[in-house]
C-alpha cells in the first residue's frame, strides 16, 4: 500500500511522533461496525436477548491475539500475509489458501455493498440492485483514483461517532446489567442459535482483516529498521490493537444490548435492517431512521473499501507483490472483489439473510487463514528471531482448533 508508506522518513518515537505510527488497528476496526455486524448483532439480540454476548467477548479476545500476531508478521518480515504465503509455502498449498481468502473478501464485500444498498432504499426508495450498483461504482472509482484517501478519515470518524452513539444510548434504555454481565462470560448455545453464533464470530474475526492488517503494517517497512525500533514498534502495535479491538467489543456489545432491550422483550425478531432504526429513537426521536440509514450507508462505503483493499492485497500477494493501486494485479484484485460481490447480490432474495449467511461464510474460511498464519509466524525462515514463542503457538493453535470445532458443529446442525 504505497499511499501508507513513510518513504525517506526514519521512524522516531518522541512525544506526539508516536501517534503517527500507531493506528492501523483503527482502520481494521471499521469492520466492527459494517452492515454484516449490524445484521448479526441485531439477530443475536432480538432472538436471544443477552445470552449470546459471550461470543462477542470470546471473538474479540481471539481477534486481539490473531491481529497482533499477523501485525507481528508484517513488522518482523516486511511481508503481508498473502506475500508470505506465496514466498514461503508450496504453490499447492498457498494457491488454495489465497483463493479461499479472496472468496472471503468477496463475501465481506457482498455484505458491505448490500448494507449500502439497504441504506439507499431506506433513504430514497432506491431498488436494492440499483443501490448496490451505485455503491459499487462509487467505491470502485474512489479506490482506483485514490480519492477515497481524502475522505477516509471523515467516513471512519462519522461512522465511529454513530457506533459510539449506540454505546451512549445504553444510558437511555433499560438494560438488565446483571444478566448482561453473566452473558459476557458464560457460554451458552440456545436451541437453534449456532448459525447466529457463527455469524457473530465471522463478523468479528474476519479473514480479510487479517490480510489487511498485515498489509498496512508491512507497508511501513519496519523490518528495515534496527532491532530497537522493531521491538518498540511491536509494543506500540499491541497497544493500538488492544485499544482498537476494545472499541469494537464495546460497539458490538452495545448493538446486542440495544436489540435485546428494544426487540427481545417484546418478542420481536428482527428480519430486516430497516427495523433497526427504532433502536435510535430514544436518542434521536423521529429522525432515528434517517440517521440510522445515513450511518449504515457510510458504514457500507467505508467497509466496502477495506474489503476491496484486502482483496487487492490478497491478489497482488499471490504474485509476491505488495498492494499498489497503480499495479495491474492490485487493480484486478480490487475489481474482482467488488464485481464478484455485486454479481451475487443480483441472486439474493432475502437481503437480511444474505447478510447473515455472508458472515457465516467468513467463519467457515477462518480456520484456513488462522492455520496458514500460524505456520508462517512459527517459521524462523519467515520471522527470524521474532518467531512465535511456545506459549504464543499453543494459544494460536487453541484458537484455530476452537474455530474449527465450532464450524464442525455448524455443519452437523445443518445435517
The tens digit of pLDDT for each residue in 108-161 reads: 999 999 999 999 999 999 999 999 999 999 999 989 987 656 666 776 777 677
How many Å apart are CA 98 and CA 89, to the nearest integer?
11
| Out of 158-162, 190-194, 218-222, 271-275, least confident range | 218-222
pLDDT exceeds 60 at position 188: yes
Q: Where are the domains of the chain?
A: 22-414
Q: Taking phi first (over 0 means left), then psi (-120 to 50 degrees means alpha), and beta for anything else, what does residue 191 get?
A: beta
Contact 72/306 with Cβ under 8 angstroms?
Answer: no
pLDDT exceeds 90 at position 102: yes
How many Å apart are CA 102 and CA 89, to the nearest integer?
17
Q: Among the residues of 206-287, which ranges form H helices?
A: 207-218, 227-262, 281-284
CATH superfamily entry for domain 22-414: Amino acid/polyamine transporter I (1.20.1740.10)
pLDDT exceeds 70 at position 6: no
Average of per-residue pLDDT values in the chain: 86
Percent helix / strand / coil, the chain, rounded to 5: 80, 0, 20
Q: Among the residues of 263-389, which ranges form H helices?
A: 281-284, 288-317, 328-345, 351-377, 380-383
The tens digit of pLDDT for each residue in 303-354 reads: 999 999 999 999 999 999 999 998 999 999 999 999 999 999 999 988 888 8
For position 148, what pLDDT does the model report?
Answer: 55
What's this model's pTM, rounded to 2 decimal places?
A: 0.88
How many Å apart are CA 406 and CA 415, to the nearest integer?
14
> In terms of Cα–Cα distance, which of 376, 317, 326, 349 is closest to 86?
317
Higher pLDDT, 291 or 370: 370
Amino acid at each position: 500500500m504505497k499511499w501508507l508508506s513513510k518513504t525517506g522518513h526514519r521512524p522516531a518515537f518522541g512525544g506526539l511522533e508516536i501517534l503517527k505510527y500507531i493506528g492501523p488497528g483503527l482502520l481494521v476496526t471499521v469492520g466492527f461496525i459494517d452492515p454484516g455486524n449490524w445484521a448479526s448483532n441485531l439477530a443475536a439480540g432480538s432472538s436471544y436477548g443477552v445470552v449470546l454476548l459471550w461470543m462477542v467477548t470470546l471473538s474479540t479476545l481471539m481477534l486481539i491475539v490473531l491481529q497482533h500476531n499477523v501485525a507481528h508478521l508484517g513488522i518482523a518480515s516486511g511481508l503481508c500475509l498473502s506475500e508470505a504465503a506465496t514466498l514461503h509455502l508450496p504453490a499447492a498449498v498457498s494457491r488454495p489458501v489465497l483463493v479461499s481468502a479472496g472468496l472471503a473478501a468477496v463475501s465481506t464485500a457482498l455484505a458491505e455493498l448490500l448494507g449500502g444498498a439497504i441504506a439507499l432504499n431506506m433513504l430514497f426508495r432506491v431498488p436494492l440492485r440499483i443501490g448496490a450498483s451505485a455503491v459499487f461504482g462509487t467505491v470502485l472509482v474512489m479506490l482506483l483514483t485514490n480519492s477515497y484517501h481524502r475522505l477516509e478519515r471523515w467516513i471512519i470518524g462519522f461512522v465511529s461517532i454513530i457506533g459510539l452513539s449506540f454505546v451512549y444510548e445504553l444510558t437511555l434504555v433499560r438494560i438488565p446489567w446483571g444478566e448482561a454481565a453473566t452473558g459476557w462470560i458464560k457460554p451458552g448455545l440456545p436451541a437453534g442459535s449456532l448459525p447466529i453464533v457463527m455469524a457473530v464470530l465471522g463478523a468479528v474475526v474476519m479473514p480479510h482483516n487479517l490480510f489487511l492488517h498485515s498489509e498496512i503494517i508491512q507497508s511501513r517497512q519496519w523490518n528495515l529498521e534496527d532491532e530497537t525500533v522493531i521491538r518498540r514498534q511491536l509494543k506500540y502495535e499491541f497497544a493500538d490493537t488492544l485499544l482498537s479491538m476494545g472499541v469494537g467489543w464495546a460497539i458490538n456489545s452495545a448493538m446486542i444490548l440495544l436489540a435485546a432491550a428494544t426487540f427481545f422483550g417484546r418478542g420481536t425478531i428482527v428480519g430486516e435492517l430497516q427495523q433497526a432504526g427504532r433502536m435510535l429513537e430514544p436518542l434521536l426521536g423521529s429522525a432515528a431512521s434517517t440517521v440510522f440509514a445515513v450511518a449504515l450507508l457510510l458504514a457500507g462505503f467505508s467497509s466496502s473499501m477495506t474489503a476491496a483493499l484486502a482483496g487487492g492485497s490478497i491478489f497482488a500477494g499471490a504474485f509476491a507483490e505488495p498492494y499498489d493501486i497503480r499495479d495491474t494485479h492490485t487493480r484486478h484484485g480490487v475489481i474482482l472483489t467488488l464485481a464478484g460481490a455485486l454479481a451475487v447480490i443480483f441472486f439474493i432474495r432475502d437481503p437480511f439473510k444474505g447478510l447473515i449467511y455472508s458472515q457465516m461464510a467468513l467463519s467457515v474460511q477462518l480456520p484456513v487463514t488462522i492455520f496458514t498464519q500460524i505456520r508462517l509466524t512459527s517459521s524462523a525462515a519467515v520471522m527470524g528471531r521474532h518467531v512465535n514463542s511456545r506459549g504464543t503457538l499453543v494459544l494460536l493453535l487453541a484458537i484455530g482448533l476452537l474455530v474449527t470445532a465450532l464450524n464442525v458443529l455448524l455443519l452437523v446442525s445443518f445435517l
